[in-house]
Structure 1
Amino acid sequence: MAGNSQRRGRTSGAGKKGATAGTGGKNRRALAGRGATPPAEKRTGHPAQRRAQADARRRAERDRSRQRAEEAPELLLGRNPVVEALRAQIPATALYVVTGDTRAATDERITEALHMASDRGLPLLEVGKAEFDRMSNNALHQGIGLQVPPYEYAHPDDLLDVARDSGRPPLVVAMDGVTDPRNLGAVVRSAAAFDAHGVVVPQRRAVGMTASAWRTSAGAAARLPVARAVNLARALASYQDAGLQTVGLAGDGDVDIADYDGLADPVALVVGAEGAGLSRLVRERCDVVVRIPIARDTESLNVSVAASIALYAAAQARR
């Protein structure tokens, strides 16, 4: 009956309220929550995180592959390219010629290449067609190839030393994300023609001094240093600290290049990638962005042509 302390399951003092141990605030902290939910890419074990990690590994492998390729000698293939490269005194370590090709043996370009390579003391190496196909990854080689060593890049700060030794105000061309080696070679050639002190290219997402860039420079790359920057925006900031004006070049620039009066001063001229133009971070680093006025029905200028016009304007201002 009610109040019977002898019933089954009854324990002394059951149901009485008394002092209990506290939680130390754990319950209150639990109620406070754990904050905002992290993005899927940062959640351990989430498929999005695994995809992000796989993408990062692929990018790292691409960077390693590109670095290995840049550290290895490059083969410049084809009769005209090889002859042009030898005429331009491009650094080379060997000339490969395929044996057994009777038509190639009578080609004047191959004969000229052999004579020029011999005059320079380059090793002349004869290889079979099957072996040379393998060496050139089955690219069209026309029975001849010039081995070009990896390019030795300068440091961006080295260009300031070159300018200091010249006694002229520094004039440097920075190329933001240009991927066509012919454009790089053409800019190097124009920079040398208009007394610039060097060219700077980014280490990533941009072309380097390949054999094709060497050839397009028509030998100017042997006279003008090309520097490679780990981060182009930081390199431009370093130039600004050294007293250079960073002048960007874009179709929607703030002022016509003819109206800008700072080209006679120390300048880093910044040109953008084909199509995309200047990247956001690099554009923000520019002190001024100038434009080249062109006809309305012409969408834009080739990057090497635009750089040449701006370099000519700088040369005129410095005279």
Structure 2
Amino acid sequence: MGDWKKNDGLERENAGQEQERLVMGRNAVREALKSGHSIERMYAAEGVKEGSMGELLRLARDHHIRVETVDRARLDLLTDHGVHQGVALRVSAADYVTVEDILAYAKQRGEAPFVAVLDGVEDPHNLGSILRTAECCGVHGVIIPKRRSAGLTSTVSKVASGAAEYVKVARVANIAQTLEQLKKEGLWVAGAHMEGEAYTKVDLTGPLALVVGGEGAGISRIVREKCDFLCRIPMKGKIDSLNASVAAAVLLYEAVRQRS
């Protein structure tokens, strides 16, 4: 955590929760925001906007960090009654990379890029499971959005069982624009959607970005429109969809089969 002073807000364990890494106190939060460290969310106490708080809110906005306004009692609980001065950050359990880093890694390995793109996977257990599958499948990187998505928290790392330390994860502001970027780099974009062709009958070889949607809603319309083609997993029972992490595993391993 760099040189942030312990008495200014060392990361603590949330009361009654998994070990989420928190930075609290205005000085510590300011340094964290300026450091470039991967930050999941800022918690700001209701009605606290005076003095340096305005600066912190501007920094969060400039870095596209989600700000959640909470009452002071909840902030006290989140910080285990630490000296938070009305503000705290939840920081990632691991650092993110860029999309360019992922593509460079594939090139370094002399392999066609194989990328998983997650559109709105908000359950950290699903994200952790997908990261573990992605690592086992040899995926070069996973791309998630900054909003409407789980991030690299300690819960995700725990579920991933070490995979989060190996899989490169990029967090982007706009998934649709990122897909356009990937297509310009020569990748084909396949989206998991019930209106697509059976997943065993589509070509998942070559430079590929496989898009999997979140729990319930699936991939959004605008993201779906950016896909080159759609693929579906046939449903034989009465339930019409799989858990996001299970769907991702089925599709990723089909891509591995075809690419072998």
- TM norm structure 1: 0.55
- Alignment partner of 1:178 out of 115, 121, 125: 121
What is the aligned partner in structure 1 of residue 213 from structure 2?
A: 272
Greater RCO (CA < 8 Å, at least 6 residues apart): 2
Pair 188,135 (structure 1): closer, same or farther in 2 beyond 3 Å: same
The alignment partner of 1:167 has SS state of: coil
Q: Distance in 1 between matches of 2:164 and 2:254?
A: 22
- Is 1:154 paired with 2:92? no
What is the aligned partner in structure 1 of residue 256 from structure 2?
A: 315
- Is 1:212 paired with 2:155? yes
Q: Distance in 2 between matches of 1:78 and 1:134?
A: 9
CA RMSD of aligned residues (A): 2.5
* Residue 243 (structure 1) shift: 0.6
State the percentage of identical aligned residues: 38
Structure whose CA Rg is larger: 1
Read off the aligned partner of 1:161 and give its amino acid letter. Answer: A
- Alignment partner of 2:132 out of 178, 182, 189: 189
Q: Deviations over 1:167-212 (max 9, x none)?
A: 1211100000111111111111000001100100001121111111
Pair 239,228 (structure 1): closer, same or farther in 2 beyond 3 Å: same
The alignment partner of 1:271 has SS state of: strand
Q: Distance in 2 between matches of 1:216 and 1:234?
A: 29
Pair 77,267 (structure 1): closer, same or farther in 2 beyond 3 Å: farther
Q: Residue 175 of structure 1 contacts residue 271 of structure 1 at CA under 8 Å; is this kept in 2?
A: yes
Q: Deviations over 1:252-287 (max 9, x none)?
A: 232000111x21111000000100011011000000
- Alignment partner of 2:146 out of 184, 187, 203: 203
Gaps of 5+ in 2: 1-9, 20-75, 83-89
Read off the aligned partner of 1:135 and give its amino acid letter. Answer: T
What is the aligned partner in structure 1 of residue 230 from structure 2?
A: 289
Give 1 or 2: higher strand fraction. Answer: 2
Following TM superposition, the consecutive aligned residue runs of length 4 or more in structure 1 with deviations greater than 2 angstroms are 72-79, 132-138, 147-151
The alignment partner of 1:168 has SS state of: coil
The alignment partner of 1:311 has SS state of: helix
Pair 231,133 (structure 1): closer, same or farther in 2 beyond 3 Å: closer
- Is 1:241 paired with 2:184? yes
Pair 155,149 (structure 1): closer, same or farther in 2 beyond 3 Å: closer
Pair 228,176 (structure 1): closer, same or farther in 2 beyond 3 Å: same
What is the aligned partner in structure 2 of residue 300 from structure 1?
A: 241
- TM norm structure 2: 0.67
Q: Deviations over 1:39-88 (max 9, x none)?
A: xxxxxxxxxxxxxxxxxxxxxxxxxxxxxxxxx94637779x67xxxxxx
